[in-house]
Amino acid sequence: MTPHGQGANPPVTRSAPDAGPPVTDALPDAATPGPRAGLLDGLSVRPSQVWGAVRLVPLVRAEPVQDLRLHPRIYGGAGVVDLTGGRHYLSYIPHGFVAEWTTDGSPAAAYGTQLTGGQQGRPVETLRLHFHRRMARREARNRLRFLPLHLALEGYLALHFGGPAIAWEEWSRQALSQGLSPRVEAAYLGADVPGLADALRVFEIHPGQCGVLVYLADALAAAFVVPHPEDYRTLHPSLVQDLYGDLVHHYATLMPPVPDFRAGITGHGIRSLGELRAAARQQTAQWVDFHDTTMAAGLLGQDSTWEQVYRMNRFTLSRFLPPFRPKHDNHIGEAITDELGRTVYLKTFRLSENQVRRGHLLNRLAAHDWRLTDTAAELGMDEAQLGHRLQAAGFGHLLRQDILDRYRSRRRTDSR
C-alpha cells in the first residue's frame, strides 16, 4: 500500500508470487467470526471537535489498561516486509509499534524512545529502504514489534491471493501459476488529506483519552485505540502519517465544513442544579446514542471475519476483513483484544467503493471455485458482463486474451 497523494507516482505495493495462503504466526483457529465483545466496549464517546470537514470524536477509558503498553519505532520511509513463502509486501511504512506486556497483570512501562533531532517532519533527502521480517515479530519474551495498519492492509491484499484453485479454461497461464501477484492498491498519506494535520494539531486531548474516531465530511475514515492515555498522547501525532482511502480524501477536498453538534438545554422545567445536571446527562446520552447508532454504525455493525495473528499472554493480536458489501461502509482493521474480547488496541482503514468491488468479486469467485458461469449466474449477469467487470476491477490479466476478446465482441453485438 503506497501513499498516493497529489502528483504522486503510481502505487507500488506488491505481494510476490505465492500459491498458498498468507504465512503469519497465526493460531490454529485462524478464521473466526466477529469479536466476543463490542468493538468499542469499555470506551466512552466524548463530544466531537470540528475543523473544516474533519470531525474528531474522542474515546475515553474509565480505567486504562496497565499491563500492555505501546510505543512507536520510527522508520520514516519505504519498507519491504518479508512475509515468508516467497511473498513480499512493499509500502510506505513511517513507523512500527512495539507492544510490551507483563504476565502477572502488573503495570508495564512504555519501552524505549527515539530522538529525531527535531527533524521528524522533514522529508528525507534520499530514499531509505527498510527491510522487515514479518508483519508481527517477537523481539523479546514480553515484547512484540508489529507494523500498524499494514497488518490489516496485507490481509486485504492477500485475499484469495493464490488465484484459481481449478484450472478452468478461461483463466490465463499467469493466473494459474502466479495467482493474483502482483496485488497493488493506493492510498493517501494523512499529511495530504486537507485539514487533517491542522485538526490534529489543535485537537484538545481529554483526560483519560485512549482513542479517537476520525471523520471526513462525517464519513468514518479511521478508528484508533490504544491501551493507556500516555500511549495516546505519544501516538496522537502519528495519525497524520497513517494511510487513508481515496474516498475520504475526496470528501475532505470537495465537501464543505461539517456542522458542530452543540448541546442545547432550554430553561423550561429546570428549577435546580440537580435538574440542570440531569438535562446535561440526557444531552450526553443522546449524543452517544446518535453517534453509535448513526455515525459509527457502519463499523460497529459490520459482520467482520477475524484472523488471529499472535497471542501475548492474555492479549491476542488479530486482523479483520469486512463482508465486502457494495455501496456500504467496509472497514478493514487490526486489533489487540484481552481474554474477554475487549478492544485494547484498534486501527482501521475505510475501503473505497472500487476496493470493495474487488474484494466482493474475489469472494464470489472463490465461493464458486473460480467458475465464471456459476459466479455470473449468482451475480445476475452473463459471462461477458462478468469478464468486463473483472477487467474494470483490474483483474483482466487473469483471463486469457482470446477469452477477453470474445467477451468484448459479444458485448458489442448485444449493444447493437
pLDDT tens per residue across span 281-295? 888 888 889 999 999
Quote the CA–CA distance of 396 and 88 in Å, as a whole number.
Answer: 23
Overall pTM surpassing 0.85 (yes/no): no
- Name 333's Cβ contacts closer than 8 Å, sequence gap at least 6: 152, 223, 304, 319, 320, 346, 347, 348, 349
pLDDT of residue 114: 32
pLDDT of residue 37: 53
Quote the CA–CA distance of 396 and 127 in Å, as a whole number.
Answer: 33
- Name 362's Cβ contacts closer than 8 Å, sequence gap at least 6: 159, 160, 180
pLDDT of residue 247: 87
pLDDT of residue 135: 75
Copy the grid coordinates of residue 335: 486489533
Quote the CA–CA distance of 65 and 47 in Å, as a whole number.
Answer: 23
Short-list 392, 375, 336, 267, CA closest to 37: 336
Query: If you ran DSSP here, which 8-state letter would residue 147 be given?
Result: -
pLDDT of residue 130: 59
pLDDT of residue 20: 36
Cβ(280)–Cβ(265) below 8 Å = yes
pLDDT of residue 207: 94
Quote the CA–CA distance of 162 and 177 in Å, as a whole number.
Answer: 9
| Positions of the chain with pLDDT lower than 70, given as ranges | 1-37, 76, 106-134, 267, 415-416
